[in-house]
Structure 1
Amino acid sequence: MEARVVGVDVGSVALGRFAWAALDAPALSLTGQGTDPESAVRALAAALTSGGRAALVLEAPMSVPVPVTDRADGWQALGRARTGEGNRPWSAGAGAGVLATGVAQAAWMLGRVVDAVPGVAATTRPDRWTAAHGPRLLLTEALVSGAGKPVPTEAGPHAADAEAAARILAERLPRLPALASDVNCAPHRPFNLLAAAALWAGLDIPRDELHQDVLVLVARPAAQGDAGRR
């Protein structure tokens, strides 16, 4: 599948902790990098305006589990980690901080996508993205932490994380739509923050995705020698 994948390392813009990287599949070639959200949008828009497919991968929690509301004691599960997060839950200090920043940055970037590519349709579901005549913009999440952290590149650690986020999805595109998410909200209901941001921005996205999981891919430890090829 041919597609442009833009990975974003969510972080403070003011403190220089935001970075993005774009890879084109199937060649997996790095086609661009940057340190501001506007240039990230331009990288996405370049693929979409030419009629191609694109994917935005945010390195921030983009779905949260909401316990059942038909039980009086459901509140006791509020803030629990998602299945697959291990010891880095979305609700912990670092996770909660990047979640808040990520929601704002996602909403802004998707709003700019609407301005740049009017009428473009989006989805958080790989099966809809890969379908014939389906939405051309896929919205996903990456988890780049722990053993999966890449070796910093000359552009710095944030650029390396952004490239790792893009590469996680770009390398696994041939397995879509059957590729299973590494993290999900089960047994609780998902609150899809990417779908909410897309709706807020005015993107054409099905409202039923508000209650569906986001595809989350976890970075794995780099194979020996991979760092030297970056």
Structure 2
Amino acid sequence: MHYAVIDIGSPRQGNLGWWITGPFIENGGTGPEDMIASLTEAVRAGPVVLGFEAPMYVPAKRDIRATIQQRPGEAGRPWSAGAGASVTAMALALVPAILDRVASNVPGVIAWQDWTRRPEKAGEILVFEAFVTTGVSDGHAEDAKLAAYAARELLGQANIVSALGEEPCMSTLGAALLHAGMSLDIGELSRQCLVVKLSKTKVAEAIGRIADG
């Protein structure tokens, strides 16, 4: 199993960080083409868990006045304001583009958001949202690396709980899966993905685990 995270940011400014960790690949950086090549290799080699560091779903509440408020668990970092709003907008374009490239490179690839269903073979991808506190590391690729290791640790546990509370949503990640042809399940549009949150208090521990191999 390979675990990959893409830190959404401007490719032109070198802010699109990525990392992949697994049995055959341990690599990362900020180059988009290197990212696509490594991700394609991982998907062809075996199952992949792929995260995007950006809000991957937005609230779809009946109470219109509450719709653009922060999601449960965002703790003062709402998806709809400041940096959250900016990266959400970038993700609307970048995530479908990335998934489209992978789908083109690996015909027949499938992906889903239901984290109770683990990918088991090549061409299968479980997708999730990575939530990394700003400034926890020295760069975007390092943020992605920390999140990839955090996802590997979380998904190795028996009882997995998403870091954000459950609520009715519109999944932009689900829409990207449908756009890329990785899923035909329209239910992905209203399905919340797993959110793996890496807080400042756990960063030192994560860095230590990475250093220890």
> Structure 1 98/75 Cα, relative in aligned 2: closer, same or farther at 3 Å?
same
Gaps of 5+ in 2: none
Q: Note the C-alpha offset of 1:107.
A: 0.3
Amino acid at match of 1:183: L
Equivalent residue of 1:159, what SS?
Answer: helix
Deviations 1:133-155 (A, max 9, x none): 79710111111115xx5332xxx
Query: Contact 2:51/2:130 (CA < 8 Å) preserved in 1?
Result: yes
Query: Contact 1:64/1:185 (CA < 8 Å) preserved in 2?
Result: no
Matches within 5 A, 1:1-230: 3-24=1-22, 31-50=26-45, 52-68=46-62, 74-130=63-119, 136-145=124-133, 149-152=135-138, 157-175=139-157, 178-186=159-167, 189-220=168-199, 221=201, 222-223=203-204, 226=207, 229=211
Query: Contact 1:6/1:40 (CA < 8 Å) preserved in 2?
Result: no
Gaps of 5+ in 1: 69-73
Q: Note the C-alpha offset of 1:37.
A: 2.8
Q: Note the C-alpha offset of 1:35.
A: 1.3
Q: Please give the alpha-carbon distance, in whole angstroms, between the structure 2 residues aligned to 1:127 and 1:36.
A: 32
Q: How many residues align?
A: 209
Flag as ranges the 4+ runs of structure 1 deviating above 6 A.
Answer: 132-135
Q: TM-score, normalised by structure 2?
A: 0.88
For the pair shown, the structure with the greater C-alpha radius of gyration is 1
Q: Note the C-alpha offset of 1:54.
A: 0.5
Q: Percent identity, aligned pairs only?
A: 33
Equivalent residue of 1:218, what SS?
Answer: strand
Q: Note the C-alpha offset of 1:170.
A: 1.4
> Structure 1 199/49 Cα, relative in aligned 2: closer, same or farther at 3 Å?
same
* CA-atom RMSD in angstroms: 2.4
Q: TM-score, normalised by structure 1?
A: 0.82
